[in-house]
Amino acid sequence: MANLTMDNMTVLNDTSVQDNHTLGQWTDYTVEYKALSVFLVCLICGVGIVGNVMVILVVLTTKHMRTPTNCYLVSLAVADLMVLIAAGLPNITDALYGQWVYGYVGCLGITYLQYLGINASSCSITAFTVERYIAICHPIKAQFLCTLSRAKRIILLVWALTSVYCVMWLFLSDTKELVYDNAVMLSCAYKVSRSHYLPIYFTDFAAFYVLPLMLATVLYGLIARILFLNPLPSDTKDGSTKKWKREMSQGGRMMSSGSSSSTTAASRRQVTKMLAVVVILFALLWMPYRTLVVVNSFLDKAYLDTWFLLFCRLCIYLNSAINPVIYNAMSQKFRAAFKKLCHCGNQRMEKPASYSVALTYSVIKETSNGESPDHFTTEMDAFNTPADQYQPTKRIPYEEPSPGADVKV
């Protein structure tokens, strides 16, 4: 994969400088290109940086948001931040100056962070896809596998492995002078020739794009069969669940374990849909750039149209910026947490109602879904509205009469 901040002139012509031949007449970007590219990159990267920082802050500062699924989303947010900063922002200076301005150290560091962010985001998506599959298709095993501590260890392992894997780019990257008839421009390119670069790229392409998407397609197909094609019994036996209703003394509320089980199934679908959208957008928004590099690998003269390259890069930046928007649009829990973080929501939203823990545990027992309590709470909170989550309850003293006491009617 080519560097996301330059036009990868080494792919176009590896021997132009070594053979003492110039690259022709150098022409600067047009004013229209500079204005549009700087505006769009600043807009997308600005929104993405703010959104991903909010995701990290919301999960780290809110206790009930610290769940296994959200841990993987934090890992994805960190990786997306890395892509936006290391790939998006240097693109602005490239548009303004037409060359690399960060020097040799900047070339190595920024290239390393680009690949680290890209590969870590792919691994994070794979991790929460596997977690969803285990939680829904193997609920008994989920009690032991889909835990918060295990999610943290998996994330640390993902970042450790990708950090080590991306070290090779520190040895493959270098600054090069591009000699034109009227100027000498500095670029951040690769040391290896095109013939040596392609096997490295295709290995990276297969490991961090093709295989994760193939795995996600299979696993989400199995998840859909459980959630959508074979609904839970609670979805189809509403008549029989009426006899499970319980009357709770708090405010005279009527709670039904059958309806709660139905809510559990609906919340699972909601969370799964949200994560599936993240995977689909990852596949679609990376496709233009991936396709371009694959096609250029088989062309004698690479296709490097300036406007099409800008479009491909903007798709990549949009992929890293859009995930917080998806969470806000499809998750009531994230939306309420975002509002609270911005001091726009209800300031009383500190913790769930006092009955939620007991209700969660009872529903788990009666529906036999086998998931850990904190995992179940995650799905319930993701589906419920903020009003349902945090509505304060008025405590009414209640004393049960003794068996021998007289009760007046």
Per-residue pLDDT at 261:
55
Residue 63 has pLDDT above 80, yes or no: yes
Q: Is 251 within a domain?
A: no
Q: Is 399 within a domain?
A: no
Q: Please tell me the total count of domains within the chain.
A: 1
The length of the chain, given as a count of residues: 409
pLDDT tens per residue across span 9-22? 333 334 334 445 56
Q: Is 90 within a domain?
A: yes
pLDDT tens per residue across span 123-152? 999 999 999 999 999 989 988 889 999 999
Residue 389 has pLDDT above 60, yes or no: no
Checking 235-239 for CB contacts under 8 A at 24+ apart, the result is 235/262, 235/265, 238/262
Q: Is 247 within a domain?
A: no
Q: Is 245 within a domain?
A: no
Reduced 3-state DSSP string for 19-75: CCCCCCCCCCCCHHHHHHHHHHHHHHHHHHHHHHHHHHHHHHHCHHHCCHHHHHHHH
Higher pLDDT, 18 or 29: 29
Query: Which of the four pLDDT bands, split at 50, 70 and 90, describes residue 235?
Result: very low
Residue 346 has pLDDT above 60, yes or no: no
Q: Is 353 within a domain?
A: yes
Per-residue pLDDT at 406:
41
Query: pTM for the whole thing?
Result: 0.76
Q: Give the rounded percent of residues in the chain with a pLDDT score beyond 90.
A: 45
Per-residue pLDDT at 342:
84
Residue 105 has pLDDT above 80, yes or no: yes
Per-residue pLDDT at 231:
56
Which of 117, 136, 113 has the alpha carbon at shortest distance from 125?
Answer: 117
Q: Which domain holds residue 31?
A: 9-237+257-388
Per-residue pLDDT at 247:
42
Q: Is 357 within a domain?
A: yes
Query: Which of the four pLDDT bands, split at 50, 70 and 90, describes residue 193?
Result: confident
CATH number at residue 211: 1.20.1070.10
Q: Is 127 within a domain?
A: yes
Mean of all residue pLDDT scores within the chain: 77
Average of pLDDT values for 373-396?
43
Query: Which of the four pLDDT bands, split at 50, 70 and 90, describes residue 196?
Result: confident
H or E, element range at 121: helix 103-137
Residue 246 has pLDDT above 70, yes or no: no
